[in-house]
Amino acid sequence: MATTFRLATLLKLREATRDERRGSLAEAFRAEAMLADSAQAVEGEFAALAADYRAATRPGRIDVDRLLEYQRREALLIVQRLEYARQRDVLLAEIDRRREALSLADREVRTLETLRERKAATAAAEAARIATKQLDEFALQRSAFSEEAAWDA
């Protein structure tokens, strides 16, 4: 006795939603990695700027225009660093939101899968009960037939 799970379509929709949210979370992680790479590049520029600044301020002739250019670059890098930190905070909040959405979607799928498993177990138990009942009836009929044959003899 084959039974169908009436909520199979809903289960497929929930699985599709879960997969979509999983992809969305992966996309947010990729964005975070790209942002981290950009922030790392800014830190590398800071290190290069510090080395250039040290070289420009060695004893001897000092080029003031060059020092002003270094200060402008440093100000720009500071602004970039702050912007990357702000973007990272926003992105981490978005990752948390997407992670929670994925968790909810996963719970919904697991709930439907549990219902499907329970329905299958119930159907299997019912099939076993029916089979046992049929075997009992067959055994009773056979027993009755054997008794009839014994009386006839």
Look up tokens 């014994």; give the residue: 150
CATH topology of domain 8-122: Helix Hairpins (1.10.287)
Q: What are the tens digits of pLDDT across the range 46-103?
A: 899 989 888 888 888 877 888 899 899 999 999 999 999 999 999 999 999 999 999 9
In a 13 Å sphere around the CA of 38, the CA atoms on its Cβ side amount to 15
Out of 24-28, 77-81, 121-125, 145-149, which region has the weakest mean confidence (pLDDT)?
Answer: 145-149
Q: Where are the domains of the chain?
A: 8-122
Specify burial of residue 17 (Cβ count, 10 A radius: 0-12, 13-18, 19+): middle
Specify burial of residue 14 (Cβ count, 10 A radius: 0-12, 13-18, 19+): buried
d(CA 108, CA 22): 14
pTM of the model as a whole: 0.71
Out of 73-87, 97-111, 112-126, 136-150, which region has the weakest mean confidence (pLDDT)?
Answer: 136-150
